[in-house]
Every structure is written in C-alpha cells, then in structure tokens.
Amino acid sequence: MYEIKLERIDDNRWLLPQTGGMRVPGIIYANEKIRQLLKGDESTRQVANVAHLPGIVNYSLAMPDVHWGYGFPIGGVAAFDLEGGIVSPGGVGYDINCGCRLIATNLTLDDVRDRLANLTTALYQQIPSGVGSTGAVKLSGKDQKKVLEDGAKWAVKAGFGTPADLETTEDGGAMEGADPEQVSARALERGKQQLGTLGSGNHFLEIEVVQEIFDETAARIFGLRKGQINIMIHSGSRGLGYQICDDYLALMVKHSQKTGIDLPDRQLACSYLDSQRGRNYLAAMACGANYAWANRQLLMHQTQAVFEKSLHLSPRELGMRLVYDVCHNIAKIETFNIQGKMKKLCVHRKGATRAFPAGHDAVPQQYKSVGQPVLIPGDMGSGSYVLVGQEKAMQETFGSACHGAGRVMSRTQATKVSQGRSISRELADQGVLVMASSKGTLREEMPEAYKNVNDVVQVMHDSGIATKVAKLKSLACIKG
C-alpha cells in the first residue's frame, strides 16, 4: 500500500488531496509530531476511503486522535446529505454511544487521600466490570423496550438518578427515533443482564483531581475548581450495541451489490439514508445509544452509593452531580450552514465527540453562555481534559472534536511490548492506583499504547475547534 502524501494547510491541519474516486478531499487535524506518528498508518488510507462514499459533504475529516478502525478510522468525522447520502455502521462503530460522563463532587484531595485505596477497592468490588460482566438490574422484556426507547430517562424514572442528570446529558439521555422492533432477538438477549456494567478494554471508571484551570469563566460555569475530586466514567452499549452493529453490517454487506455503490473497502458497507434498510439501522442504532445512556446513568448511581458508604457521607456532603455526558460513536441528523444554506445532514462521529458552541440550541441552558463541555480522557497515567466547543467547530468539523488520546499501538503490539512488566506497579509509582480483572487488559491499555493526550488536546485548542478549560489528573482507575 503506497503512502498517501499530505499537504500542510497550517500548523494543525493537513490536506489529503481529492484523487481517484474520492468525491471530496480529506482533512486531518494534526501538528507535526502527530503527523509523524501517522506515517505508514492505515487510518490515513481510511480517511481517503470514506471520501468515496455517496453524498459526503465538504470533507472526510480526522481528529488528532485518529487511528485505524473498522471501515472508518477511529477519530473520523463525515457528514452526508439526506438526499443521496448514506449511513454506515462502520462510521458509528461497534460500541454504539461509547461515551464519557464527568461527575463533580464537593470533595477535595485532602478529603480522600488517606482513604483512596479503600475507596478504589470498594468501587472495583461494587461496579461490575470485565468481559461478560452482568449488572444488578435484570430487565424484563417490557422494561428492556422502555430502556431502548427512553434511555437515561428510564433510569431516572426508575430511581437511578434525578431529573437534573438529564439536563446535562447529550440529547437529554434519549435519542429520538428509537424502534426496538429493529433490534434482533440476539442483541436483546445480550443486553438483558449487562445494564449497569463497565465492560472491558478501554472502558474505565477513574477518580481524578482538577489539576489546572485554563478558562476561569467556563470552569466556574461547569462547576469545576482546582483541587476538586471528580469521577470520569467511560462505557457504552455493551453486547447489545455490538450485536446491533454486527447484524446491520452483515445485512448491508449481503445487499451491497444491490445498492450500486462502488466501495473501496467492503468494511464501508452502507445503505442510503432514504432507504428502508438505512432507516431501520438508524432506529436500531438509537436503541443502542439509549441503552448506553441508561448504562452510564446506572454506573453513576452505583458510584454515588459506593462513595457515600465508603466515606460515610450524606448525599448533601458528597455533592455529586453530573457535569456532562457525551457520546463518541454515533450518527446524528443535525443542521449546518453549507455554502450559505441551512441543511440537515447525517453526521457520523466515530471516536469523535460533539463540540457545540455558546448559544447553540443543543447546549444545556446553564452552559449556553460558554458552550458545550467536551470531555477528553487520556491514558491511565495521564488523566483527562475538559474543553469547551467553539463556533469554528461548526464551520470546519460539523461541530466535532477528538474523543481521547488515540492509540499508537495495537492491543497485540502493546501486549508484546509490555511482556514481563507490571503495569499496575509502574502506575502506582506514578501515583495512580489501578485495579483490573485482567492483567492482559492493563498490558493492552498501558500508557505507551496511546498518543500523548496533551499533544492531541493542544491541536484542538490551537485550531480553535474546542478550547481548554481544565486538566484533571488520574488518582485511581478501575478497568475490566
């Protein structure tokens, strides 16, 4: 495979020229350091492949955390016209609405320092994690249908949270258009016992402390202050979402010749947005998204219970509240100004997060004066960033930013490189407690397997897509 030549636009953007069957050019957000990491990486080829798809608007985009994925690159963003455009499960990903939830507390580092080990152990014991883990909530068929339709709203109504949580959850925690009839029996079966579980791989629950404030105004409005203890939860739709993706990919591959779409990679299997198959996928995908929001809502509820019991605090003393919940893997119908006309587009964000600016209708009322919080977790040793969306994102990236640090090693490579090492001990030496059900997970997820999150975030900040508000340092992490 020959290397695609990139042309520099500016210090943070590179042009992938339109060639061959590409319908639009590509743009990759990266500084020189990140561009060097992309040399020989198949994700650049995938950006070009996405540009072949019908109805794509403006550019095939990649955020600075871009790396190889199924069909679309992880960190890829592409918008498609509702007329003549497509929807692709590979452009959403297997873990539908994998996302992050940032939770603030009244606590400071001094409040938990001496009890951090016991708190971490309690979280590990009480929060189900790992491959095949099951939760305390067992869903009946009727309840499961309501979860798929109502998402986090179902969880709050069932007593797992408060209405205030929904106000700071993307889409209010429930995506419109969900139709459980479009979800297979196999997917439903996989989802019955996994609600309220963390999962495995790169999913985590972290205790973090606000280390640095960059934007005092936005931080104050988000309720963040230096030295404050926060929790970051990263999880998604578990086996249900995976099965939805798998089912529709198989269906679209099977019928790919009937669409008449010439695909450079069969992993880009897709259907036209105005086709029955395309509509069915969007309805099933919305079910997966809603399940994920309900899942993170339950995880937050369980986390609050562990904090209160372990630290002997009342809810008022703990002061736990949701700052924001964003999804990463999704396709959404949204409106943008395209060459002076407002148009509805289907925006695929795969390993990318929404980054809407101040005043946007979708931004929670309490954040409208500054913009939407953008949550960017790093590797286990580095912590996370909170950014805020800017108007430039609407002009350049369909209101999108990066979603994390982004891998530079495959899981197989990371396992090989970390042979004979104790990742948990190395992290403990850095002041980060880690508990995981598998040493293999820690090796796959070791810090060196990821780009430096500081570099990735700086590209978003310097490009004006989403600007830095706060940096959070990892204190403890539980993983599957």
Q: Per-domain residue ranges for the chain? A: 7-479
Active-site residue set: 403
CA distance 365 to 369: 8
- Domain 7-479: assigned CATH number: 3.90.1860.10
The region of weakest confidence among 43-57, 137-151, 447-461 is 137-151
Q: DSSP letters of 330-358?
A: EEEEEEEEETTEEEEEEEEEESEEE--BT
Place of tokens 């067992």: 138
CA distance 298 to 162: 11
What tens digit of pLDDT does each residue of 370-389 get?
A: 999 999 999 988 889 999 99
Are the C-beta atoms of residues 6 and 35 closer than 8 Å to each other? yes
Tell if the pTM clears 0.85, that is, is over it. yes
Q: What mean pLDDT do residues 143-155 have?
A: 96
What tens digit of pLDDT does each residue of 302-325 get?
A: 999 999 999 999 999 999 999 999
Q: What mean pLDDT do residues 416-437 have?
A: 92
Contacts of 212 (CB under 8 A, 6+ apart): 226, 470, 471
